[in-house]
Amino acid sequence: MDQAPIYPPALPQPSYTQLANPIVVIAPHFCAPYPVDLTIVKKVLTITEGNFEVLDVNGSVIFKVKGALLSLRDRRLLLDGAGNPLVSLQQKILTAHRRWQVYKGDSSDSKALLFSVKKSSLLQFKTHLHVFLASNTKEDVCDFRIEGSWLARSCVIYHGDSSNIVAQMHKKHSVESLVLGKDTFTVTVYPNVDYAFIVALVVVLYEINEDRSGDD
């Protein structure tokens, strides 16, 4: 009598928190009703710092990040696939905690501020950043937080002080990253979460942890 084939146990499927309302920070059309997987490629061998490309699962470039050359302060532009500026990211100078501010379009006007990101404490052995939306002027409680290990390129983005995950990132190892000098991340954005916003957070996360001045 033949034995029935033995199959390995099925791997558990990731469960995603179903949000009551979509999280929209940059634009509603960047929210999808399903998980969005993105690959973020840091271009290392370039004249200007802070250049990234963001690819979808088909390998198409859907966002680009451009760094400013000879800028008095670190400044980045997040562009859509057609080259239109979505947000401007820049480091705030003369602050106790390293803080980046993100503005709508190619602006740096306070009225165009969307959100800011800062270290939760000066001395950190693990990544712990707080994100405050522009409407949260008191900043008593963060609107989002980023935790994990930057050294391992493994970080999780949470909604406020809750345990609800909105995105996760991890390091992607590839031959291309070794040969061409590229730092590559894979980011999974949970359903109904603005994935352009998540890309902007990952860029700030990179800049805060890879700061070349060494100052805090």
54-87 tens-digit pLDDT: 999 999 999 999 886 555 557 899 999 999 999 9
CATH number of 28-211: 2.40.160.200
What does the pLDDT read at residue 213? 47
Which comes out higher in pLDDT, residue 133 or 151?
133
Spell out the domain ranges in the chain.
Answer: 28-211
Label residue 150 by pLDDT band (50, 70, 90): confident
Distance CA 147, CA 128 (A): 5
What does the pLDDT read at residue 42? 79
Kindly report the pTM of this predicted structure. 0.84
Among the residue ranges 18-27, 175-184, 188-197, the one predicted with the least confidence is: 175-184
> pLDDT at residue 146 above 80?
yes
- 133 close to 143: Cβ distance less than 8 angstroms: yes
In sequence order, the β-bridge partners of residue 147 are 128, 156
